[in-house]
A and B are shown apart, each in its own frame.
Chain A
Amino acid sequence: MPCADFDWKGFVLQEAAPAERRAMEEHLKTCAACRREVDALGLTLVAVRQLPQQPIPRRLAFVSDPVFELPWWKRLWRMPAPAWGFATAALLVAAVALYGTLIRVPPPQAAVQADPAAVERAVQAELERRLPAAVEAAVRTQLGPAVSQLEARLAAFEQKAEQQRRADLRDVTAAFELLQKRINNVYLASAHYGGD
């Protein structure tokens, strides 16, 4: 029987504190029963650890595999609001850059020869002249659908308001005519009783 003072399972599982471990190692030098216990536990650990790992029968599906992939419209829908803003801004910048690249101002030949600062001023002036139009065009491209939608809704609202105004006018006219008929009746009745 091993000595009950020592936790030999903790010893073989490497759970013993360093000081305790040193004391246990010292004890093992003199106690055959404890040595047998440690040997038996050690053999058991070795046997369990030598159990072979089974290879996985087939490859697991990755989350990036097509089976897990969202359709494009879902991915687009899940784009966060900042991404939409960034995409719009990037489109705007690209439009301005494209405009500036395709429509270049031909540098005046004489000016190149004469004064680089003058050329720079001329390019700057031309850029300032054309840039607002390019930005406006890009903004119109971006905001065009929204503006058109707003205008359509505004027109529909105006049409509805006009129809309401006409209906109100018809009601007022009818009420006025009714009132006038009642006045006429009262007038006729008073003339009739006055005649008696």
Chain B
Amino acid sequence: MIFREAEDRELAGRARKGDLDAFNALVSRFETRIYNYLLRITGHAEDALDLCQDTFIKAYQNLARLEDPARFGPWLYRIAHNEAMSHLRRPQRETGLDDAAAGSLRAASMAPVEASLAVEAALARLSPEQREAVILKIYEGFKFDEIAAITNCPASTIKSRVYTGLELLKEMLAPAERPARPQEGP
């Protein structure tokens, strides 16, 4: 993880000086993570892919504004977050977000694992803000202050969203994860 961050920092520094290969390497390193983050926020594979492309184009256009190359990851997620929020503010398709999110997440999943489906369904039942905070904290591993910078919210608000989301997920998922109770005798 530390090596990866050091490599990201070096690549971001080179990309800021106009090294296209370095920026392409950063795209390769982050595209799947950013795509999955956007997929779980928007719930639509095609929208997530378009937003992912827009995110990297905007990142390239604004590389000069990246003050600290070591913060490239959170900076990129902030651009992705802004793209997703702009997208969600636009009029949505006919299907509701919950149905679309749950449906597309299930359809996009290639692993027919019951647990994955349960987690996806549980995530889809969180509010969009809780879902994003939970994904950034639990799935992407950011710290509270980093998520606060990405989403432009106070860290206390982020902490509250993560805790509430985690509590809801626990209530929805934990019973299914517990081992089955042994059958009682006749």
Count of residues in B whose CB is under 8 Å from the partner chain: 43
The answer to whether B24 touches A63, judged by C-beta atoms less than 8 angstroms apart, is: yes
CB-based nearest A residue for B35: A56
Q: Does A54 lie within 8 Å of B177, measured CB to CB?
A: no
With A13-B137, A51-B119, A61-B53 as contacts: A56 and B31 at CB distance below 8 Å: yes
B71 neighbours in A (Cβ, 8 Å): none
Main secondary structure of the interface of A (DSSP, over half): loop
Among A43, A51, A53, which residue has the most Cβ atoms of chain B within 10 A?
A51
For A48, the chain B residues whose CB sits under 8 A away are 119, 123, 134, 138-139, 169, 173
Interface of B is mostly: helix
Interface contact tally, CB-CB below 8 A: 93
Residue B66 is within 8 A (CB to CB) of chain A in the complex:
no
Chain A residues with Cβ under 8 A from B109's Cβ?
52, 54
Of B53, B111, B174, which contacts A40 at CB under 8 A?
A: B174
How many residues belonging to A are interface residues under a CB distance threshold of 8 Å? 26
Binding site for B on A (CB under 8 A): 9, 13, 15, 40-41, 43-58, 60-64
Question: Could you tell me which B residues sit within 8 Å of A by CB distance?
Answer: 20-21, 23-24, 27, 31-33, 35-36, 39, 45, 49, 52-53, 56-57, 60, 108-111, 115-116, 118-120, 123, 134, 137-139, 144, 162-163, 166-167, 169-170, 173-174, 177-178
8 more CB-based (< 8 A) A-B contacts, given A52-B109, A56-B31: A13-B137, A43-B177, A47-B118, A48-B138, A48-B169, A51-B123, A53-B36, A54-B45
